Structure 1
Amino acid sequence: MFPPGASAAASSRGASQSHGSLAEFIRRCCEDVGRGDDVDTIAAVTEVLRVNKYRRPDDLATFSEKEAMEIGVPLRLAIAMRKRLSGAGMAIDDAIAAVPKPEPIVSKPPAPKSMFPTLREMAEEAARRKETRVAKEAEAATSTRTTTDSPPARCAPMRVEHHGNVTNTRATRRPDKTSMTDYRLRRDEMPASLIDELDALRRFLTVRRLGAVDEPIKEVTAMKYEDHLRGLLGWMRSHVKPNFPIEKLTSLRAAFPTPDRRGAQLAFEHIQWLVNERKCSANYELVALRAFIAAAKFVHGGDEDDVGSGDGLDKPYAKLGLVQQLRKISKETGRRAERESPVADARVKWLDWSQYLGVVDALREECAALDKDGRRRSPSAVAWSVQRYLIFGILSCVPDRQRTVRELEIGRTLFQERAVKGGATLAGEGESPSSASGKAGEYRWVIRHGPDDYKTGRDYGVRPPMVIHPKFYPALEDFVANHRHHLCEPAHGLLFSTRSGAPLRDKDVHRILTSTSYRLTGKRVNPHLVRDMIITHLRGTDASERELEALAIYMGHSLAMQKGTYDRRTKEEKVAPAIDLLDSVNAKMRA
């Protein structure tokens, strides 16, 4: 690209104003390279630039050498155009004007052949390139299965609704995090003994042990627990009077000094501070209390064979007054969480299901290789558009937690199955997805989860296969074969990546959904809310109880959770069928 700076732009404007027309500008650029009398080249280059919508010298500010080669403009002339636009060619105009014109020679030798192609040669070269491009497109069309749902040839104009900056849109009643200091104790501030203890706590929580009374938890949950414990220790250092200097924070015992009920005092005061100063919700309190209970068990649990009451009726660690007290606080907090109104304003984030599907369709239109003006987009930009479309599309037919999208991996959680009589079979070992594919209806793409692949796997075990809708198969297969590697050649085996080729993190998926949905609709849809939207939509329809129960099993939760947690209908909306039923009964009785 040409230099985008302000000085270059000013020089470009000056060049345009001094030269006037595009033809005059091209003539001067030809003079710069010693071919100012090559009339055929000047006419040919001017015409080909106008055909490609470069009508004034100002329009060439973004003209690159790559584009020059694609449309047939000689590279040397393109470089001269760039220099003149940046101001480097302006200084030679006066010098050229000062050179005396040579006297005409009667017996002039034949002029050497122009270094630039003639208009006819350029037309022939353009025709040859067009034939090559058409042949390649025809070959690609025969090797790739096409459907009516394939991306368009050109992108629709990028829809950017003027909703403002998504990062400045508040969806919660909590104070803005940018106005609050991070009080947590960082790992680089901790003594070595405390770091070792936190690592030992993580192993205590995540690794199976002989005689352990609690089931292991996920690594990501253990990391969240550590965040809350770092918060407790950081609060102790900066807010407890007298302060706890870093020299005293050598162990978790500083936060839980005794195994009796008095050992919960600092944890309780920290919870109160979170509620009053940081305006945290009751659900946030519950997670913090789970972390504190886990740490209390680790610090004061002692022999795990002697953590109960002795009669086998009480919960594990019932003998520890510290754990009992924290459990009591957690129970009271849980009751408060059931009655508490949501912290976030759902109106800022909520889409009707039809609106969400409209977003999916809009993203499909953004997957084309050419932009709205017919210019070729960069391979990485196309790859990112296709990936974004697939993320939204997969969630529309498999409305699961975002972890499912992040951990999609062909051959581990994502499979292509050939449909056969009596069921479906997976593609054979070593067989590529393309070789296993056939006509529509002969195969399907499914997501399969074992107990360790999703949040409630410990309760529900192996999940039934979650089927991706066939309309997304062309984009999925094209992404795997042609686009994924353009995201900085990912070195991992996961399906989706960041722009730099790294695996997607939870905040990456969250950012993709919130920023994209906000750009298109003005609503900040997050990944987990997609589950709420489809359940709320279906529970407001005539779906039977059997169908809703099947949906709950399919999505990996109970019917009670579907009704209580994911159904976002208001009470008025929930009782509307009862009002209609009573009206119908009364009408029949009066008839």
Structure 2
Amino acid sequence: MQESLTCWSVFEMYEEQVRAIYPESKAKRVINEFRCATLRFWLSQLGFTRATSGRKMTKAESEAAKEFLKSLRVEVLLSARQTIQQAFQSQKASIASQNTYGNRFNQFLSWSEQQQWWPARGSRRARVKQQSCPSMKNPYGHTSNTPLTERRTVHQKYTLKPQDTPAPLQKELDDFYQYLTDPECPFRVIDPISELSALEYTKNIRLMLGWFCYHRTPPIALEQLRLSHLISVLRQEDLEHLNSKEQAKLWKQHRQTLEIWLCSYFRFLREVLHSKSPSTKRNKLGALLELAKFLYTSEVEEEADYKQIPLFKALNNHLSSVRKDISEWVKNRQSVSDFEKKWPDTAEGETALEVVRTKIVEPLRLECRPRNSRGRFRSGFAIAKSYQDYLKWSLLADIPARRQQEYRTLRIALICPVKRPESVPPDGLYQPLPPAQVREKHWDGTIKDNYLYFTYVHEKKPYPQGVWVLDIQQYKTRSTHGGQSIVVPNRQLADGSCFYDYLEGYLYGSWICDGYKNRQVYDWWQPELKGQRGRWVTSGRTEFNPLDTFYLSTDANSPKWLWGYVFVLPRLGIGASASEFGCSFESTSHRFIGKRISPHMMRYFWATWAYQVGLDDAQTRSLAYAMGHKVETLRKLYERCTPEEKRRPIEEVIEELLFKQPPSPELKQEANTQPESLLAQLQKLSPLEREQLMAMLDMLDK
């Protein structure tokens, strides 16, 4: 059969398969999109020429295309993925067209590769090679081989841990946290803050309390320690019996006590912990200022009254000084860590973002293949981890990088209602966004969780193939930019696969029609694989035995919604902390290029890329919004172009406009004689040569 098999015969078989597995309406749409991908794009790259340029082919053109397909042997399909990509580029197809028609053509090729007639099927070596990932080498060793700071000693952990905190002090800390976050707090004159900010303040307070116990000279006994050791409190009744001079003297004593321990603590940070960043001091002072507001709540009637309290004046003076230091650090691009060890090495004209995408993200994608470099099947756990690594990097390198906290806390629904919504096709993938009434909320009713979900209608726009969406409702600058709903693009990749293939392989598992063990029949959500024999090479996220969490609505009539974190820790099955999430990026980047790139560094790469490629103001503002901050923040804080890159545009203009050498008198004389010489040469041309020359000039004009 393969002797006489042509592309036309194969297409007929595929279309019959589509009609058999899809409802009539969907089958018609699938076939139309497949034919468009084939006739409009793929055949044009193989030499088929249409008589018209319209999008719809005439009947005569369709018949000519059919005859052309009958002349093509199935071996041409071996390079079809590369061919259609070349067709997209030569015809300058839009991203939407590439995704729609590329995905449809890729589905056909995936089906073809499982058929007995597929040309490469007899070559097991070729199949194994396609399924094998590169050798996973680690030439740079552990990340500890590339220290980011000058510190060579073990970092001292001196915080006062909750289990060591005396009950009275713990009660004070709980009251402080409630004061910061509770929407209705009596006598408070400041606005409540987010739970994340409150946790950051209490973390710094615990650090200072730990210093008082373990490092201060003389130390304070743990059982005696109270918040008033950090900020002493003078009530109005303590001052009533004193005259103004005595009051000033008492305030001075308390201010001196604060200044002495604070300077001693900052010296400890600098000399013992080798902490040089002014941002560290700012964080401690900010926490102390909030603590002082809490302790002096009963002494003020409005926020402006705090400024009249001497201890607040002392803290604000320190803050004013440290802000100047921070401004100098930002201006001079100064950093505690060595940026050279976090910034990729780039060639002339190459951006850091490009290096990350080509030398880290793409190799990670290739490592998702089911076999190792020797052709043996990898464990399902290892494949799932490769999927996770690739997805995490792709979400920060292929779309504008948002804060890592959004991806670290990203959730996904693990159950859904039995009744399928009308918008979901009968055979379509269903991965819902939980209804608002069962999602986690702030005290004011606003949603405070982030979800990944799959839908066929987004922002009232239909997506017949469906799209994955990031519903981001909880992030640092939400009060400024509001919640964001981000469609994850399903870009087609170099080998014809698409981003969604990897995302769904991670979430649901990956099937392969190959191998000799566990031969099963596929019967899940991918219709092109139904009935095929093969094996599951990984169960995806389930390989990590995730420990998921229930969230139950207070409404008795609402169902339970089980959810879990998208990116759980592979070994533990729980959500990652900020440090654990960041370390996974650093270890991966160090393995490939010897640099320790954190998720936050990706924001620097995007901001610098915007300057290097010359985005205009509107594009830059759009990028800043997509990253979740203001354009001023992008330009002032994150952009890291070199001085040479910043000077190059004006230097080139100066050379062009101010120092362009005028032509010499000899060149002017030669230029004046050129028209006469050219006219003489034209007169010597024959009529045919003149006609050919005019045709060439017309072509150049066009």
Alignment of 1:436-455 (within 5 A): 436=456, 442-450=465-473, 453-455=474-476
Contact 1:408 1:494 (C-alpha < 8 Å) held by counterparts: yes
Q: How many residues align?
A: 426
Greater RCO (Cα-Cα under 8 Å, separation 6 or more): 2
Return the offset for 1:242.
2.8
* CA displacement at 1:403 relative to structure 2: 0.9
Paired with 1:469 and 1:586, the residues of 2 have a C-alpha distance of 48
The aligned counterpart of 1:158 is 135
Alignment of structure 1 residues 560-571 onto 2, 5 Å: 560-571=632-643
The residue that corresponds to 2:291 in the other structure is: 295
1:402 aligns with 2:396: no
Q: Tell me by how many angstroms 1:169 deviates.
A: 2.1
Amino acid across the alignment from 1:458: S
Letter in 2 for 1:476: L
Equivalences for residues 49-448 of structure 1 within 5 A: 153-173=130-150, 175-176=151-152, 178=154, 180-210=155-185, 212-249=188-225, 251-259=226-234, 260=251, 261-262=255-256, 264-265=258-259, 266-280=261-275, 281-302=277-298, 305-309=301-305, 317-340=306-329, 341-351=334-344, 352-358=352-358, 359-396=360-397, 397-410=399-412, 436=456, 442-448=465-471
1:553 pairs, out of 625, 642, 663, with 625
Which position in structure 2 is the counterpart of 1:129? none
The 3 A distance-change label for structure 1 pair 441 and 263 is farther
User: Residue 484 of structure 1: which of 534, 541, 550 is its match?
Assistant: 541
> Is the 8 Å Cα contact of residues 236 and 243 (structure 1) preserved in structure 2?
yes
C-alpha distance in structure 2 between counterparts of 1:306 and 1:534, whole Å: 43
Q: Which amino acid is the alignment partner of residue 583 of structure 1?
A: E
* TM-superposed deviation, 1:464: 5.8
Q: What SS class does the counterpart of residue 448 from structure 1 fall into?
A: strand
Q: TM-score, normalised by structure 1?
A: 0.65
What amino acid is the match of 2:468?
W
Inter-partner Cα distance in structure 1 for 2:312 and 2:625: 34
1:11-64 deviation digits (Å, cap 9, x = unpaired): xxxxxxxxxxxxxxxxxxxxxxxxxxxxxxxxxxxxxxxxxxxxxxxxxxxxxx
Deviations 1:498-534 (A, max 9, x none): 1121112212211110001101110000010001012
C-alpha RMSD over aligned residues: 3.4
Aligned to 1:520: 592
C-alpha deviations, 1:308-353, integer Å up to 9, x for none?
33xxxxxxx2232222211220111011122132111111011211
- Measure how far apart 1:435 and its partner are: 8.5
Aligned to 2:694: none
1:473: which partner in 2?
A: 500
Q: Which amino acid in the other structure matches residue 474 of structure 1?
A: D
DSSP-derived class of the 2:411 partner: coil
Separation in 1, partners of 2:216, 2:619: 54
Aligned equivalents of 2:297, 2:303: Cα separation in 1: 7
**3-state SS in 2 of match to 1:573:** helix
What is the percent sequence identity of the aligned residues?
25
1:541 Cα deviation from its structure 2 partner: 1.5
Gaps of 5+ in 2: 1-109, 116-127, 235-250, 345-351, 415-420, 425-429, 436-451, 492-497, 510-539, 550-563, 664-702
Give the 3 Å change call, closer, same or farther, for CA 357–325 of structure 1 in structure 2. same
Cα separation, 2, equivalents of 1:498 and 1:285? 32
Q: 1:543 to 1:254 in 2, by over 3 A?
A: same
C-alpha contact (below 8 Å) 2:158/2:210 kept by paired residues: yes
CA distance in 2, matches of 1:212, 1:268: 30
Deviation by residue 1:217-268 (Cα, 9 ceiling, x = unmatched)? 333332332232222122222333332122321x100221245534532234
Residue 682 of structure 2 is matched in structure 1 by: none
Give the conservation status (yes or no) of the 8 Å contact 2:292–2:312: yes
Shift of 1:434: 7.5
User: Quick one: distance in 1 between partners of 2:453 and 2:316?
Assistant: 51
CA offsets, 1:442-496, max 9 Å, x none? Answer: 443232323xx11111222233635445342111122222211111144242211
Contact 2:477–2:628 (CA under 8 A) maintained in structure 1: yes
Per the TM alignment, residue 305 of structure 1 is displaced from its structure 2 partner at its CA by: 2.9
C-alpha separation between the residues in 1 aligned to 2:209 and 2:343? 37
Work out whether residues 460 and 556 of structure 1, in 8 Å CA contact, stay in contact via their aligned partners in 2: yes
**What's the TM-score, normalizing by structure 2?**
0.56
